[in-house]
Amino acid sequence: MTGRSIPWLKFTAPANFYTLAQRLVPWLWPAAALCAVAGLYMGFFVAPPDHQQGDAYRILFIHVPTAWMGMLLYLLLAAYGAIFLVWRIKMADIMARAIAPTGALMTFLSLWTGALWGAPTWGTFWVWDARLTSTLILLFLFLGYMALHAASDDREKGGRAASLLAIIGAVNVPIIYFSVEWWYNLHQGVSVMRSDGPSMADSMLAALLLMIAAFWIYAGAIVLRRAQAEALSREARTEWAQAAAAGRLTREQRERAAVGIEGNRPPLESGGQT
């Protein structure tokens, strides 16, 4: 019952998290699809061709969202890594591990779409400038996190080492973000988050924002699904996980599981070395 007085700790219990995700995700898929369809329609049928780049600029509608998602997911990964290191909350490690593959995919896609955009506009698929190089490092950080986590037989140890890597690697995110201002770059500067307002047509901006929303929601849904599978797998021997796998997790089972977690291992007092 301690969970009642501190509501935000409620979802540190995998059983509560599982149920929340189970309710949330069925709404996220159609929401993401709706945003994507609207964004693609705006991007391909309403937004006019660019006066310099013609129709090649339409890659922007997937390049910017994937690049932002990569950075955002990395910050989340580092934040969950820090929570796991400090408070030993198992659910934080599950979330971090669920985020990493999607973050790696988004970063890869931003590099891929960027290369295909650079080829016709810059005349090259790749250049070792600050933004591209730091984004490549971001991809390696995601992959490194996953490899390090999987390398150790002891999941607790692997999780701690990987979390540390995630936290240290977080310095790379501001480097990516500000690289276009700090160094001479082939990559163009900021065009959406400007103090004098976005530097593009309204229909282009609307398409871009819809696509960004679609990628946000998609990433949320897929990460929650992966975290659910991971939570079930780790809790395989518990009553709630077996009931959930069979699709009949009751409220009583869930609350019993949550009390078990909060009763045995108060998340805020479980420091110390093992």
Partner 1 sequence: MWDGIGDFLAMGGYALYVWGAFGMVALGLLLEGILVARRRRQVRARLQRQSRRPAAARNQGE
Kindly list the residues in this chain that would bind partner 1 in the complex (CB under 8 A). 44-46, 48-49, 54-56, 58-59, 62-63, 66, 101-102, 105, 108-109, 112-113, 116-117, 119-120, 218, 222, 225-226, 228-229, 232-233, 236-237, 241-242, 244-246
Nearer to partner 1, 59 or 83 (CB): 59
The helix or strand, by DSSP H or E, that contains position 121, with its residue range, turns out to be helix 90-122
Least distance in Å: CB of 93 to partner 1? 17
Least distance in Å: CB of 198 to partner 1? 21
Distance, CA of 134 to CA of 171 (rounded, Å): 10
By three-state DSSP, how is residue 128 classified?
coil
For residue 44 the two structure tokens come to 């391909």
Nearer to partner 1, 4 or 237 (CB): 237
Q: Which amino acid is at 157?
A: K
Beta bridge partners of 50: 54
Alpha carbon 268 to its chain's center? 25
Distance, CA of 101 to CA of 232 (rounded, Å): 18
Least distance in Å: CB of 230 to partner 1? 8
Nearer to partner 1, 9 or 204 (CB): 204
Nearer to partner 1, 228 or 267 (CB): 228
Least distance in Å: CB of 162 to partner 1? 19
Least distance in Å: CB of 121 to partner 1? 9
Number of H helices, E strands in the chain: 10, 0
Beta bridge partners of 133: none
Nearer to partner 1, 86 or 236 (CB): 236
Least distance in Å: CB of 229 to partner 1? 5
By three-state DSSP, how is residue 54 classified?
strand
> Measured between alpha carbons, how far is residue 160 from residues 13, 99, 153, 164 in Å?
19, 16, 12, 6
Nearer to partner 1, 59 or 71 (CB): 59
203, 101 contact by CB (below 8 A) = no
